[in-house]
Homo-oligomer: A and B are copies of this chain.
């Protein structure tokens, strides 16, 4: 499904920054930071616009924001040919050496038994260590 279709299906206007962001993420092999995405888009759009678009896409459920660490925030698409299969919660692996973020599709965390009165809305599992390329 291409960017235009995705936007239309979610009642979002088809604007160039949104299309560019979606296409950048679709072409990515792993979740990317704002800086990486911006570079892929040719630094063609304002960071402000990126953040606002990202928020819109996230609210529409199209985008997933993964916070590895402060200064290590990554974004990924939730759909289509991207890495993130729709609505399938999975863990993420962050390599402390090469800083790549890898989706561990086979690890489905939870469900968690929360104390009485607590209500879960979303959850995130980050495993940090060394990836296969960085373990010598």
Contacts and interface: CB of A to CB of B under 8 A. Distances in A.
A116 interface: yes
A117 B129 contact: no
Given A116-B132, A119-B129, 6 more contacts: A93-B114, A107-B113, A117-B133, A118-B130, A118-B132, A123-B127
Total copies of the chain: 2
A33 to B, nearest CB: 11
Interface of A: 67-70, 73, 91, 93, 96, 104, 106-107, 109, 112-133, 135
A129 B120 contact: yes
B122 A128 contact: yes
A91 B120 CA distance: 13
